[in-house]
Amino acid sequence: MTRDTDGGGPTDRDLSRLLQNLTVESDRYAERFGAKHGLHRTDVNALALIMESARLGVPLSPSSLAKELRLSPSATTALIDRLEALGHVERARPAGDRRRVALEVPAAAVEANRHLFTPLAMAFAQSWAGFTPEEREVVARFLQVSTETMKAVSAEAADQVRDQRSR
């Protein structure tokens, strides 16, 4: 049976459940918190990606954003339209290839956008304060392998769907 913490620590099932709780809550967060700013779950995710890339000096393109979010090109265009209308991002035509669009974050919006994410970041920082460096390593490793696992299983499923279609 599903014993608990006695011998072997949390079971796989325990961890799965915790993980599921977390992702559900994360969905809720994105939805509820985004609503405050007129954004949807997708928009929040997209904005996070765009800001991250912009911060690294490699602005995202619509197509790579589409790939990240697994969204169709048309949906991505609409998504960027929404974000642009709200002033969160800007379309820029880079010098070299004029077919491309670079998604940039207007200086004025950087600060405002940051307010979208900092409350959670600060709350996390506080609740993680008790974790030692070694424990953080463990957690990081866990998060990484779990993400990889989902990616792998997800890819398998996608292959099978592809197979079904081509059959």
Partner DNA sequence: GACGGATAATTCGATGATCGAAATAGTAGA
Partner DNA sequence: TCTACTATTTCGATCATCGAATTATCCGTC
Please list the alpha-helical segments (H only) found in the chain: 12-36, 41-55, 62-69, 73-85, 107-127, 133-166
Binders in 107-166 for DNA, by CB under 7 A: none
> Which of 49, 82, 86, 112 forms a contact with DNA (CB under 7 A)?
82
> Which option in its own copies, DNA, none does residue 133 bind, with CB closer than 5 to 8 A by kind?
its own copies
> Which option in its own copies, DNA, none does residue 85 bind, with CB closer than 5 to 8 A by kind?
none
- The Cα 3–Cα 24 span in angstroms is 25
- Residues 92/104, Cβ–Cβ less than 8 Å: yes
Residue 72 as a binder of its own copies (CB under 8 A): the answer is no
- The Cα 69–Cα 125 span in angstroms is 27
Find the shortest distance in angstroms from Cβ 70 to its own copies. Answer: 6
Residue 48 as a binder of its own copies (CB under 8 A): the answer is yes
Q: Look up residue 38 and give its DSSP letter.
A: T
> Which of 17, 55, 91, 114 forms a contact with DNA (CB under 7 A)?
91
